[in-house]
Structure 1
């Protein structure tokens, strides 16, 4: 694995743990950080030793959004060009990754950090975490997929209010609205997120990859498209060793041992 400056990458027991590592700046996203993160995601996507990915932040924040003091905003560059060259490819790489993604929101997730958190398949948050669509507070529009993801997560009315007003959304309310999977006490969040990622790493990873793709396609298409995708994926999954093992384990009344084959 490559060495990085603004993120950390560690692989343990089938889980790649990606940590945003600019704690003094509340893990604000720079162009370099986005490029490093995209590179790391691409690497773990093809690493056979990695069966699940966990994304979190160092220090007291998950991610405070784009770094307006650096090269990601503040008029220093064309913000649209920055999205096209760095941030949008990152989001596409995250969604194309064939590994399940757990996001542990360990503090504020604001602006692009909010959007980044939404990319998780399973999102856990610490009790003191919060989510803020901060874009309009600086005269920008939501990006990094927020306008596509957030209305689908919580409905148009709630999403529009959050995006326009920039109000703080608590972890508890995010859970109540169905935006995240669970809330943990702050000191228990890292262990809970690692345990969840380990659970996914022990699962049928080929099926997870197809599931991720099917859900994305389903969000974009209609019922007929979803049914066709399900048929194709189920046919492929039915020929895997994981399915054979799962069926045997069910009949034997034991826990299955999945290998991703």
Structure 2
């Protein structure tokens, strides 16, 4: 029986999704995309899940697309890569951004190409000190995909985004943190402990409120101020009707720790 390329473990309110092709630095195939879609759907539909943690098996997070899965023979017509993007990568990025819970990413090694932009599509990114990020597309004549051309300029500015995209140079985890591209660098041996602790903490927080916060911050990238103010009004109205808001206020007044249930 073929080993699964995506591992899913659900415990303590956290769904841990592990990219599991360590011999290929967790590079994507069509079959791996299909398994990942199943895992994300299962996590989304499980009412006990209030945070998702994404990481990779072995010494790398994800090297992007497995080029051998769509190799081009000499003299043959090039494949329609737009089909792969539309079928696999775009739905994946949309799914992570739209997931109604926090998504934590633990980058345990190299994150290259689509693998780098997959990590950046998550809400909070922790990286091992030895990890690195590479926009490797330019090395094979392609453009950054998986949201890279949208995400990078917003995180690091246009000058740095163009340098990363056009030069394909390796960016260390520490430099990524200094540039504001990720949340935090962690010593290698502490990465999964810290990422797990963070995910478990988020799983005890007001999940619906965090999901609405995520929605508002994502929308702010393209909204003007007036549109964003209206969105804040509407989402705050929704948040104010949750059970977690009632519990938060009651706990504050009673000077006790809140017991959020994610409702």
Shared fold by TM > 0.5? Answer: yes
Between the aligned partners of 2:3 and 2:180, the Cα distance in structure 1 is 34
CA displacement, residues 140-180 of structure 1 (integer Å, 9 cap, x when unaligned): 11000000011001111111100000011001111111111
Q: Determine if the alignment matches structure 1 residue 146 to structure 2 residue 128.
A: no
Structure 2 residue runs of 5 or longer lacking an equivalent are none
1:100 to 99, 102, 106: 102
**Pairing of 1:197-208 with structure 2 (within 5 A):** 197-208=199-210
Residue 74 of structure 1 deviates from its aligned partner by: 4.6
For 2:260, the equivalent position in structure 1 comes to 258
Between the aligned partners of 2:29 and 2:253, the Cα distance in structure 1 is 52
Residue 118 of structure 1 deviates from its aligned partner by: 0.3
For 2:169, the equivalent position in structure 1 comes to 167
**Pairing of 1:204-219 with structure 2 (within 5 A):** 204-219=206-221
For 2:19, the equivalent position in structure 1 comes to 20
| Secondary structure, aligned partner of 1:70 | helix
| Secondary structure, aligned partner of 1:220 | coil
For 2:116, the equivalent position in structure 1 comes to 114
Is contact 1:42-1:97 (8 Å) kept? no
CA-based RMSD: 1.5
For 2:130, the equivalent position in structure 1 comes to 128
Structure 1 residue runs of 5 or longer lacking an equivalent are none
For 2:29, the equivalent position in structure 1 comes to 30
Greater shift, 86-95 or 20-29, is seen at: 86-95
Paired residue total? 258
Change in CA separation of 1:190 and 1:74 when aligned onto 2, cut-off 3 Å = farther
Change in CA separation of 1:127 and 1:98 when aligned onto 2, cut-off 3 Å = same
For 1:39, the equivalent position in structure 2 comes to 38
Q: Determine if the alignment matches structure 1 residue 89 to structure 2 residue 91.
A: yes
- State TM-score, norm by structure 2: 0.95
| Secondary structure, aligned partner of 1:56 | strand
- State TM-score, norm by structure 1: 0.95
**Pairing of 1:58-97 with structure 2 (within 5 A):** 58-71=57-70, 74=72, 77-97=79-99
Residue 4 of structure 1 deviates from its aligned partner by: 7.6
Between the aligned partners of 1:105 and 1:139, the Cα distance in structure 2 is 26
